[in-house]
Structure 1
Amino acid sequence: MARVLIDSPLPQLDRLFDYEIPAELAAEARPGVRVRVPLRSAGRVVDGLLVELGEPDASDRPLSQLETVVSPVPVLTPRLYALARRAADRAAGSAGDILRLAIPKRMVRAEKAWLAAGSPPAPEVEPADAAWADEVLSAYPGLATALDEGERVAVDAPPQPARLADGTAVGAWAILLAAAATRTLAAGRSAVIAVPDHRDRAQLEAALSARIPEDALVRDDAKQSGPARYAAFLRTLSSAPCVVIGNRSTVYAPVSELGLVALWDDGDPLLGEPLSPGVHARDAALLRQELDGGALVFAGHTRTTDVERLVAVGWVRDLPAARRVSPRVVLSATREGESHAARVPSSAFAAARDALAQGPVLVQVARPGYAPVLVCARCRHPARCAHCGGPLHAARQGAAPTCSWCGRTAHAWACSECSSTFLRMASSGSERTADELGRAFPGVRVIVADGDHPVSEVDARPALVVATRGAEPLALDGYRAVILLDGDRMLMADDLRIAESCLRWWSNAAALAAPGAPVHLVGVTGDVARALATWTQAAYARAELADRAPLRMPPTVRVAAVQGPRRAVDAALAALRTAVPELDAEAVLGPLAQDETVRALVRFDYGLGARVVESLRASVVAHAVKGRRAAKGRTPGAAHTLKVRVDVPDLDL
């Protein structure tokens, strides 16, 4: 008998189905292979994964037979299924959704080439490279031992740029993680490292490629071609250890003899999974380490409140460096006699002028474009599109205003409040800032780096690099000065974690400065500015946790969002109250109407997580089964579906 997991988005099908194995498929029907099976309720043949083999039960119930075995390659390992099942159960989701992220689509040519090549030999790390890794790790006393003993640690990466032996510019963090992976591979175990985007992956790949054999480095990237990504996945199925680097789904890579799982910059939203069930790479890594063993490393230039909570409860150990290194941060404010409207204070302006004599200067801004926000010149009311109500922006000086939503040009715009026809630029984007600084520093190169103008690296010649947050390019030997603008505007965003996010953006930019170069934070005061100036991000995260605990804000508690028809949401909340009577009276916020549905938030302690999620998942399944026979004339859709999302980062109804 074969037990098969059906590939279906329906929550009621998130279980194993029993099928009889016909004699002609007995040799191929092994655990982990792709199969096709009949689904009686749908009257069709569907895809699935053969999870395990078992003995038929004693009942006389006839079983349907496997239709076919799609591929002889066992792509689903027992450990991967256990991880997917555990992650799905924690997030009130389906294991099939997790496996859809973890296992790429089958590519026949790549599969045939892998089968013909056979298992690769065990990689050998040169003694000199193993010694190099030990030397790098020695900057963190106890880190090498923690890797060997499979501990969970949080480290603050060195906030400085570095150069490899071939002259390639990388962050010092990439060298640290490359050393950890090299030591792990030298011990005959595999390492899995997840980073937010392709630029981080390129730095890590450059740091690793010179230290480990080429066939032991596996690149897992969603932007790869289908055959290349499937070939990389097949390499992780081999018994030979390897180092896998990639983005958020990399944490599921089914490597053998796992020795290390590492996450770089876990506060980056790119490590959060937008697809159902929305398991963050950090949570998946924690589950992976708990199930498979090996070490777990959280590294970053700052500390998220999520990781700091784990440190506070003793689940993760804080491992500081032997020698504390921090950038030279200056809190820049307008001096006496200067206009408070001055965007760049004289101290920051002078620092940029002096630094340009030596090399490049980085200027970080909040938004891309020229003038992202336009307002009425008379009453300062935000300028809106007459067709869709979207905000207007200017692409360049003197250009007609354009809607950011529908793209229409507002040729005859008039203010809806005072009827004025004159507009004023209320903010400066990267292009306008570059234009203004270009006039202030004539003859100096000006480089714009944002989403529309991606730049990965700049040379050591003098230049003004104007970049949006997160798009800052690397500079050979680091920037000679860093100016952080629009900090007050960034902090005004309507987000529970905005101060934490700003500290991460500023810390990552400050880490690009050359040793001793000034980093000017303009116009920001308070705790978050002091945390950057003193380079005490972990202490700031602890203070944030202390402030959120009395208010029961995440991550001090877990939060689940329940959305759907009002009757279904009310029934799910009532069932939850019955199943988990320990929930306090203020655990549920809402429900509030949102378009055709309502939405409620449920706050619960970590100790109640399993029972809360089980109850909510049961309500989702019950609603899905009940809704199969929709009323005549009603079209099934999002308005008639009950949805649950667990571990929502913000309390936003």
Structure 2
Amino acid sequence: MTEAAAPAQAPAAETGRRIARVLIDSPLPQLDRLFDYAVPDELGDVSPGTRIKAPLRTAGRVVDGFVIEIDSEPDASRPLSEIESVVSPVVVLPDRLYRLARRVADRAAGSASDVLRLAIPKRQVRVEKSWQPVTQVPDVDESALRRAREVVGAYDGLDAVLDDGGRAAVEAIPVQQGDAPGWATLLAAAATLEWARTRSSILIVPDYRDQELLLAALAELLPAEAVVRHDARQSNSDRYRAYLRTLDDAPCVVVGNRSAVYSPVQAGLVVVWDDGDPLLAEPLAPYVHARDAALVRQEQEQSALLLVGHTRTTDAERLVVGGWMQDVTATRRTIPQVRLSTPQELEHTTQRVPSSAFAAARAATAEGPVLVQVARPGFAPSLVCATCRAPARCLHCGGPLGARRRGAVPVCGWCGRSANSWRCGQCESDQVRLASSGTERTADELGRAFPGVRVIVSDGAHPVQHVDAKPALVVATRGAEPIAAGGYRAVILLDGARMLQAPELRIGESCLRWWCNAAALAAPGAPVHLVGVNGPVARALATWTPAAYARSELEARAPLHMPPTTRMAQIDGLPASVRAALDAVAELGVRGEAVLGPVPIGDEGRMRALVRFGYAAGQAVATRLRASVIAEAAQSRRGRARTRIPLAVHLDILEPDL
């Protein structure tokens, strides 16, 4: 990644015509550049970073935009359109945010306006008029600062990384500190130390559950005025109010989801928690992962950057192996007591909960809560024919049939129709059997096996944040595990073999992440049983060596040139457009085995190709692909082909799909 030149902020001369260089807020790729507009005298002073409205002659309408630069030119003969109005005098796009958006977009072959659309919320007039800038912030309590130093000091070399603005992949201690998980306490402590240095921090987490835990940990160390919440669940006014707070010079701690990485604060620290979570991958163009945006930001601003997790993604391990990131672990490692299934238990695959795990759960429920992790929600997410074992499919749409409760009529998971008169397409049988167990079926079975013990279900339909220390069986899907007061007295990880069967490139590291995050919720000394799994992933969990597993995954992918050992771009569009884009990157030497496809997708005549290329060639490939997108869009515009399928480019895809 290379540093982009910052736009010059030249003051307007006393003589000559004032001009503004404007970034148009438009999804059209051909408009992703700066346009010159004349600034009429009646508008007065126009500052860079303000919202304006300006005419777009090619479209014959007035569009929104941001002033990026104010300059002057002595020769006023050049025909220029004038800015129509200044929407607001508030500078909502500081120069550092524009440079970040520009670099992120260029790296991903996207538009800066698409990035800024994620970063800058819509204007709220009432909030803006009533806003009072924050100029003073309270000091850190000395006892809180002392606790923060103790937490950070438990990690070897982490304090030096924070002091020097370094980069580190941090393996979080898998323990709870009070009612807060150890990782949340670590992030709060690091932000507290930055606050004491009057520097802002950006803490990025995957979802609202993690955000609530982190906010609770921050409340133990910092005053409420120091923390700024950033997430999609806020109202428009609250989100805009939070954004205005991040524009102030006074430091703050921003806590939010993936788009919080674009917060306009002058950050001294950026932290990404659990960067392997797919929720941190942006689903909107230009599809930049929060981790990649944080890496670009750190290089641009020289802030400290931490990738924190119980496990290590192959993306982070690649940076550690290459010497670009420091490996930070606890000075005194504390790991859960993981127990794997015995060879005899592995042979009896029909027994879902082996005797050792059942006995551990029986003993633990006498003391407190027990966590049981399963793969899927619901009662029986999938059914099969009772005679030939063929998957039961809906007769209307072909979707999978499932059961919502024992003895219920099968229901299609796609169209929702009830299969009252279902018959197997293979053997004509009308009987089905349960092929898998979800949270509700597991809870039903365990409830009968543990009479008198509370059974709590936590999944997407029944979210639970916390459970008390009383005896209970907590059945949860991966990622939906509640926090237990004092930790779980035992953790049972079911359906591991089924999880590993998913046809995904990263399924091994994903399973390890799910299991490690669940094991980290166990009380000190509590047993963690991984049921029905052996092999490298199980050994990595038992020995708690996620970094070594990630390194072995990198070594296995390197000969195949699969991500993240190389970068990969996905190109979708009509055949001629895809071929033109492939020809453009072929001029850089990217051809032959580096190109997979193109293959047809969908029913609209579209094609898809995958292009693999090295990191050193990343900027050149992104530039060529972006030029192909712009050329295709301009051609469609000239031909007024409104129904023409656009060329779409997605760099750094997580899972190749052909």
Q: TM-score, normalised by structure 1?
A: 0.96
1:54 to 58, 71, 93: 71
Structure 2 segments unaligned to the other structure (5+ residues): 1-18
Q: Is the 8 A contact 1:482 1:509 kept in 2?
A: yes
Q: Is the 8 A contact 1:92 1:277 kept in 2?
A: yes
SS at match of 1:49: strand
Report how far residue 179 of structure 1 moved: 0.6
Task: Name the CA distance, whole Å, in 2 between partners of 1:37 and 1:345.
Answer: 69
Structure 1 residues 336 and 489: CA distance shift in structure 2, 3 A: closer
Q: Aligned residue for 1:229?
A: 239
- The aligned runs of 1:210-221 (5 Å cut-off) are 210-221=220-231
Task: Name the CA distance, whole Å, in 1 between partners of 2:480 and 2:94.
Answer: 38
Task: Name the CA distance, whole Å, in 2 between partners of 1:487 and 1:336.
Answer: 14
Q: Is the 8 A contact 1:88 1:95 kept in 2?
A: yes
Report how far residue 119 of structure 1 moved: 3.0
The count of residues paired between Structure 1 and Structure 2 equals 638
Matched, 1:590 2:608: no
Higher alpha-carbon deviation: 300-309 or 201-210: 201-210
Task: Name the CA distance, whole Å, in 2 between partners of 1:57 and 1:368.
Answer: 68
Higher alpha-carbon deviation: 129-138 or 416-425: 129-138
Q: Deviations over 1:595-651 (max 9, x none)?
A: 2200000000000001001000000000100111336xx6425xx210100001122
Task: Name the CA distance, whole Å, in 2 between partners of 1:327 and 1:149.
Answer: 32
1:506 to 499, 515, 528: 515
Task: Name the CA distance, whole Å, in 1 between partners of 2:161 and 2:585.
Answer: 41
2:351 to 337, 342, 351: 342
Higher alpha-carbon deviation: 51-60 or 13-22: 51-60
SS at match of 1:508: helix
Q: Aligned residue for 1:26?
A: 44
Structure 1 residues 162 and 585: CA distance shift in structure 2, 3 A: same
Task: Name the CA distance, whole Å, in 2 between partners of 1:61 and 1:120.
Answer: 43
Report how far residue 380 of structure 1 moved: 0.7
Matched, 1:247 2:257: yes
Task: Name the CA distance, whole Å, in 2 between partners of 1:325 and 1:362.
Answer: 20
Structure 1 residues 337 and 74: CA distance shift in structure 2, 3 A: closer
Matched, 1:380 2:398: no
Matched, 1:162 2:180: no
Q: Deviations over 1:378-411 (max 9, x none)?
A: 1111111111111100000010000101000011
Q: Aligned residue for 1:3?
A: 21
Task: Name the CA distance, whole Å, in 1 between partners of 2:23 and 2:398.
Answer: 47
Q: Aligned residue for 2:212?
A: 202
Matched, 1:620 2:625: no
Report how far residue 57 of structure 1 moved: 7.4
Matched, 1:36 2:53: yes
1:473 to 475, 482, 490: 482
Task: Name the CA distance, whole Å, in 1 between partners of 2:176 and 2:345.
Answer: 35
1:280 to 284, 289, 296: 289
Q: Aligned residue for 1:120?
A: 135
The two structures, once aligned, show a CA RMSD in angstroms of: 1.3
Structure 1 segments unaligned to the other structure (5+ residues): 164-168
Report how far residue 586 of structure 1 moved: 0.7
Task: Name the CA distance, whole Å, in 2 between partners of 1:498 and 1:88.
Answer: 29
Q: Deviations over 1:568-599 (max 9, x none)?
A: 11011112112x12x25211100000022000
Q: Is the 8 A contact 1:33 1:69 kept in 2?
A: yes
SS at match of 1:556: coil
1:290 to 299, 323, 346: 299
Task: Name the CA distance, whole Å, in 2 between partners of 1:85 and 1:33.
Answer: 17
One-letter amino acid of the structure 2 residue matched with residue 588 of structure 1: V
Report how far residue 67 of structure 1 moved: 0.9
Q: Deviations over 1:43-102 (max 9, x none)?
A: 000111111111237573211111111111100000000000000000000000000000
Q: Is the 8 A contact 1:123 1:240 kept in 2?
A: no
Task: Name the CA distance, whole Å, in 2 between partners of 1:447 and 1:337.
Answer: 28
Q: Is the 8 A contact 1:335 1:345 kept in 2?
A: no
Q: Aligned residue for 1:166?
A: none
Q: Deviations over 1:500-523 (max 9, x none)?
A: 100000000000000000000000
One-letter amino acid of the structure 1 residue matched with residue 594 of structure 2: A
Q: Aligned residue for 2:374?
A: 365
Task: Name the CA distance, whole Å, in 1 between partners of 2:439 and 2:607.
Answer: 39
Q: Deviations over 1:248-297 (max 9, x none)?
A: 011111113x2100010000011110000001000000111111111001
One-letter amino acid of the structure 2 residue matched with residue 173 of structure 1: W
Structure 1 residues 337 and 558: CA distance shift in structure 2, 3 A: closer
Q: Aligned residue for 2:646?
A: 641
SS at match of 1:296: strand
Q: Is the 8 A contact 1:261 1:294 kept in 2?
A: yes
Q: Is the 8 A contact 2:172 2:329 kept in 1?
A: no
Task: Name the CA distance, whole Å, in 2 between partners of 1:623 and 1:6.
Answer: 19
Matched, 1:133 2:138: no
- The aligned runs of 1:250-329 (5 Å cut-off) are 250-256=260-266, 258-329=267-338
SS at match of 1:36: strand
Q: Is the 8 A contact 2:487 2:522 kept in 1?
A: yes
One-letter amino acid of the structure 1 residue matched with residue 110 of structure 2: G
Q: Is the 8 A contact 1:333 1:345 kept in 2?
A: no
Q: Deviations over 1:120-172 (max 9, x none)?
A: 31331122222221111111132112101100011110101221xxxxx1101
1:143 to 152, 155, 158: 158
Task: Name the CA distance, whole Å, in 1 between partners of 2:51 and 2:181.
Answer: 41
Task: Name the CA distance, whole Å, in 2 between partners of 1:625 and 1:564.
Answer: 15
Task: Name the CA distance, whole Å, in 1 between partners of 2:474 and 2:73.
Answer: 68
One-letter amino acid of the structure 1 residue matched with residue 82 of structure 2: Q
SS at match of 1:627: helix
Task: Name the CA distance, whole Å, in 2 between partners of 1:274 and 1:36.
Answer: 29
SS at match of 1:645: strand
Task: Name the CA distance, whole Å, in 2 between partners of 1:565 and 1:520.
Answer: 50
Q: Is the 8 A contact 1:552 1:603 kept in 2?
A: yes
Matched, 1:180 2:190: yes
Q: Is the 8 A contact 2:345 2:532 kept in 1?
A: no
Task: Name the CA distance, whole Å, in 2 between partners of 1:333 and 1:433.
Answer: 22
Q: Is the 8 A contact 1:363 1:466 kept in 2?
A: yes
Q: Is the 8 A contact 1:334 1:342 kept in 2?
A: no
Q: Is the 8 A contact 1:375 1:424 kept in 2?
A: yes
Report how far residue 333 of structure 1 moved: 4.1
One-letter amino acid of the structure 1 residue matched with residue 166 of structure 2: E
SS at match of 1:263: strand
Task: Name the CA distance, whole Å, in 1 between partners of 2:347 and 2:26.
Answer: 64
Q: TM-score, normalised by structure 2?
A: 0.95
Task: Name the CA distance, whole Å, in 1 between partners of 2:446 and 2:155.
Answer: 41
SS at match of 1:600: strand
SS at match of 1:89: helix
SS at match of 2:293: helix
Q: Is the 8 A contact 1:190 1:242 kept in 2?
A: yes
Q: Is the 8 A contact 2:465 2:483 kept in 1?
A: yes
Q: Deviations over 1:190-245 (max 9, x none)?
A: 11110011111111111111211221111111110110011001000000011111
Q: Is the 8 A contact 1:334 1:346 kept in 2?
A: no
Task: Name the CA distance, whole Å, in 1 between partners of 2:608 and 2:320.
Answer: 33
Task: Name the CA distance, whole Å, in 2 between partners of 1:309 and 1:78.
Answer: 31
SS at match of 1:240: coil
SS at match of 2:229: strand
Report how far residue 339 of structure 1 moved: 4.2
SS at match of 2:592: coil
Task: Name the CA distance, whole Å, in 1 between partners of 2:60 and 2:186.
Answer: 55
